[in-house]
Structure 1
Amino acid sequence: MSTLKTLLTAICLSAGILQVSAQGINFEHDFNKALDLAKKENKMIFVDFYTSWCGPCKMMSAEVFPQKEAGDYFNKEFINLKVQCDDKGEGVELGKKYKINAYPTLAFLDKDGNTVHSTAGGLSVKALIELAKTATDPNKNQLAMVKEWDGGNRGHAFAARYFKTLIRSYRSEKANADFEKYFGTLNPAQKAAKNTFELMGIVKTGPFAPSFEYMEQHTGDFYKTIGKSKIDSTIANAYLWYFKGLQASGFSNKDMTAFNSKMKLFKAEKYPFYDEYAEFYAVFDSQDANGKDDINIYMQRGTEFLRKYGKKNDSYTLSLTSMLGNWTGRKNSGAAGIKWMEELLQRNNNPRYLNTYFYILWRNFNFDKAMEVAQLMKANAIKENSSTADIDKQIQMVKDLKEKYKNI
């Protein structure tokens, strides 16, 4: 009797588990099958492009897709498909085909497999459903916006919305190509207008792009409409982060050719901030006599650089500290970064900087202080009526690390 009761209980529990899992979104895992079903049922395809290592992807799969509200809506309206972009198979090729550059990318395809709408990043159930409603609205989705742009709508409000939508979807290549083509049609007064400058900021036009070079060559026109300090700082910051990205790419590919050749062109521009930027990039290239990366040289160079230039731009400290946090991973091995952040917070107690401070603290095994900072971050999130789910996970992570390394 007892054995039978146990068996029945197990069966009921299993049924309960199946019922819960069936409440959420039902996903296909084969692209061609999804296409066939979409044509057969005359539905759009919702695609979750994800990777095995992506944190927000895991959050969506664990906390959003299984919810009944999501299942009720998506199972009725769409054929749903999951595509793993690091599976070394079909998923990798599909990621390339659809130019997926960020994860998760949440895309909506028509029944022929053409992209209708997409965005990148984790969403709540409510936001996901709102995204789906936009995707199915022929007057609001990306495909409709592209058609309207191609049809000649160049009103500023629409143009700003169009480029913001592309950038949010990580379709920066199209955004930049469309903007540069548009910029080329403008007369000099229109090119230097406030509206055009706003669009340049949205698409993040940068060094060596035609529109950016035009601004450099006609700064006087832009000074009149935008202001000298704004234009000068825009040009300076654009070069700073353009080369930082180029340098990071060169390091990862072990090929600094593009970085070095562009730096030569940058030097020829004779900007007064060239030496400052060159010194900043040199910090990241800290190697010993044998050519091996040396964290102590990095910290020494970083400290010297911040002593000279740190007060000019908070991003210097944040960038150098973030890199140091990646590099360290034991008690106080990157302690200089803690000092850098504390000096920054003393002069500018910006709540947004706490993330970097928290990171460098726990990466140096300063778990108690990291917990204090995490609680501040959580309090700020509550004050702003934002979700605390992410910081709660980080707090638990630090607790687990503290227990794991309690004897160190």
Structure 2
Amino acid sequence: MDLNRIKAIPVILLGMACSPFMLHAQGIEFMHDLDAALVKAKAENKIVFIDFYTSWCGPCKTMSNEVFPLEKVGSFYNKQFISCKVQCDDNGVGVELGKKYQVNAYPTLMYLDKNGELLHSAAGSSSAEQFIELGKIALNPDRNLFSLIKEWNAGNRQEEFVSKYFKALKTAYRGEKLNNDFAIYFNDLTDKDKSKKSTFELTQYVKPVPFSPVFTYIEENRKKYDKSVGRAQIDKYIADSYLWYLKNMIQPKNLKEYYSAKARFKAKNYPFYEEFDMFYSAFEVMDSTGHIDVNEYMKRGDAFLKKYGKNNDSYTIALTSLLGNCVGKADEGVAGIKWMEDLLQRKRDPKYLDTYFYILWRNFHFDQALEIAKEIRANAISTNQSTKTIDSQVAMIQEYREKLAKRAAENKSK
């Protein structure tokens, strides 16, 4: 046996693994220092692509595990960009960079010129094809966000452009600029243009919050929208806006502002106030530290859904989702299982199954959860959607079950 030849094999393989070709084929080549990336971008006259991510973000992991490593993605991005990863929950430079570049959602996929100025941005996970298309938009001076902002600042207020501009800002999670610029745009319109159906549709997309000038105008001028939009749609828009605006304010840091806003809402004497107030009461069991009394939450949720649950399916989804976040033991939150089963009995909408699956496994009803997972997977296949998410969740449940079984066996043997 030739021992020298055997020893040489690992060296050859190592050389292959480290070759530029193999690195390129593995996907995007990332740097982890933005300052260094900008220096390299200047030297090579390229744009910088940044993946702003956190350690806890599921969609970030999807991009990192399923999109960034693809050869076709690496082939495009390594040629066109200097790529950099920035972790925004590292308690250091990443946190500060997130603040500097106004990162409000994860992952944020951002493109900077060689001087560090924003060219384009979008948030959320995407397919490989969508991600490559996003890069092409960033490279195109006639299509990227920078060009749209420049055109807006130059005074373009044509309806088609304005729609494209505000949609680009929302996609980029530039919330502050979106709301400020839309308020300016709306204020400059004539009353006739404000009440146009197309303007209302854009307003629905931007979602100005209750008590803001734009929302208040629509609220106080409902009759002007009767012909273009219809009273029923306007009334629903106003009610839904209050419903979710106030519900989303129920957070430890916002409780004072929440109760103040709810008092202002009550003073308007809308007929749906009592229903909304009872819905909010379940979430009001949260204390100033964010702790939730689960038993009281389930008690209030039960009472509310028995009285008003059939009015809006989203009530059940919202209540069950939070309960799933708060439990993690066998039968700790079984009320949520019943809530979802009642909803699915009324309307077995495939989009509700994810929440049902979640509350099942959070209560350790693993067998039942896995049956629902089969249905979710079959629905995904029938609509040509990826099954990777549900497949990974099933794998996670099976691994978790094994750990619990092992722990139980160890405790029994003691």
TM-score (norm. length: structure 1):
0.94
Q: Find the counterpart in structure 2 of residue 60 from structure 1.
A: 63
Cα deviation, 1:241-279, whole Å, max 9, x if unaligned, reads 10111113xx2x3x5111111111111111111121111
* Structure 2: distance between partners of 1:18 and 1:152: 52
CA contact (8 A) 1:34 1:45 kept: yes
Structure-2 change in CA distance of 1:397 and 1:16 (3 Å): farther
CA contact (8 A) 2:380 2:387 kept: yes
* Structure 2: distance between partners of 1:18 and 1:39: 26
Q: Find the counterpart in structure 1 of residue 9 from structure 2.
A: 9
1:102 Cα deviation after fit: 0.9
Secondary structure of 1:99 counterpart: coil
Q: Percent identity among equivalent residues? A: 50
My pick for the range that moved more, 67-76 or 264-273, is 67-76
Q: For the aligned residues, what is the CA RMSD?
A: 1.9
Secondary structure of 1:272 counterpart: coil
Structure-2 change in CA distance of 1:147 and 1:287 (3 Å): closer
My pick for the range that moved more, 23-32 or 205-214, is 23-32
Q: Find the counterpart in structure 2 of residue 198 from structure 1.
A: 201
Residue 178 (structure 1) aligned to one of 162, 178, 181: 181
Q: Which amino acid aligns with 1:26?
A: E
CA contact (8 A) 1:172 1:203 kept: no
Q: Find the counterpart in structure 2 of residue 390 from structure 1.
A: 389
Q: Which amino acid aligns with 1:401?
A: Y
Alignment of 1:38-53 (within 5 A): 38-53=41-56
* Structure 1: distance between partners of 2:321 and 2:2: 59
Structure-2 change in CA distance of 1:300 and 1:201 (3 Å): same
Secondary structure of 1:323 counterpart: helix
Q: Find the counterpart in structure 2 of residue 300 from structure 1.
A: 299
Q: Find the counterpart in structure 2 of residue 129 from structure 1.
A: 132
1:65 Cα deviation after fit: 1.9
Q: Which amino acid aligns with 2:97?
A: L
My pick for the range that moved more, 91-100 or 71-80, is 71-80
Q: Find the counterpart in structure 2 of residue 160 from structure 1.
A: 163
1:2 Cα deviation after fit: 6.7
* Structure 2: distance between partners of 1:68 and 1:15: 20
Q: Find the counterpart in structure 1 of residue 226 from structure 2.
A: 223
CA contact (8 A) 1:21 1:66 kept: no
Q: Which amino acid aligns with 2:89?
A: D
* Structure 1: distance between partners of 2:16 and 2:355: 43
Cα deviation, 1:65-94, whole Å, max 9, x if unaligned, reads 222222222122111111111122221111
* Structure 2: distance between partners of 1:270 and 1:17: 70
1:119 Cα deviation after fit: 0.6
Structure 2 residues without counterparts, runs of 5 or longer = 409-414
Secondary structure of 2:269 counterpart: coil
1:96 Cα deviation after fit: 0.3
Cα deviation, 1:76-122, whole Å, max 9, x if unaligned, reads 21111111111222211111011001111111111111111111112
CA contact (8 A) 2:51 2:85 kept: yes
1:34 Cα deviation after fit: 1.5
Q: Which amino acid aligns with 2:257?
A: A
Secondary structure of 1:315 counterpart: helix
Secondary structure of 1:45 counterpart: strand
Residue 35 (structure 1) aligned to one of 19, 27, 38: 38
Q: Which amino acid aligns with 1:85?
A: C
CA contact (8 A) 1:52 1:86 kept: yes
* Structure 2: distance between partners of 1:134 and 1:123: 14
* Structure 2: distance between partners of 1:112 and 1:48: 17
1:175 Cα deviation after fit: 1.1
CA contact (8 A) 1:105 1:119 kept: yes
* Structure 2: distance between partners of 1:54 and 1:206: 27
Cα deviation, 1:115-170, whole Å, max 9, x if unaligned, reads 11111112222221111111111111111111222222223222222212211111
Q: Find the counterpart in structure 1 of residue 123 from structure 2.
A: 120
CA contact (8 A) 2:24 2:78 kept: no
* Structure 2: distance between partners of 1:239 and 1:123: 31
Structure-2 change in CA distance of 1:117 and 1:235 (3 Å): same
My pick for the range that moved more, 355-364 or 392-401, is 392-401
Q: Find the counterpart in structure 2 of residue 341 from structure 1.
A: 340
Cα deviation, 1:2-59, whole Å, max 9, x if unaligned, reads 7545533333443444354443222222222222222221111111111122222222
Q: Which amino acid aligns with 2:11?
A: I
Structure 1 residues without counterparts, runs of 5 or longer = none
My pick for the range that moved more, 365-374 or 291-300, is 291-300
* Structure 2: distance between partners of 1:346 and 1:158: 45
Q: Which amino acid aligns with 1:316?
A: Y
CA contact (8 A) 2:62 2:125 kept: yes
Secondary structure of 1:112 counterpart: coil
* Structure 2: distance between partners of 1:128 and 1:122: 8
Matched, 1:142 2:145: yes
- Structure 1 residue ranges (4+ consecutive) displaced by more than 6 angstroms after TM superposition: none
* Structure 2: distance between partners of 1:353 and 1:335: 17
Matched, 1:311 2:314: no
CA contact (8 A) 1:321 1:360 kept: yes
CA contact (8 A) 2:52 2:88 kept: yes
Q: Find the counterpart in structure 1 of residue 398 from structure 2.
A: 399
Structure-2 change in CA distance of 1:286 and 1:90 (3 Å): closer
Matched, 1:94 2:85: no
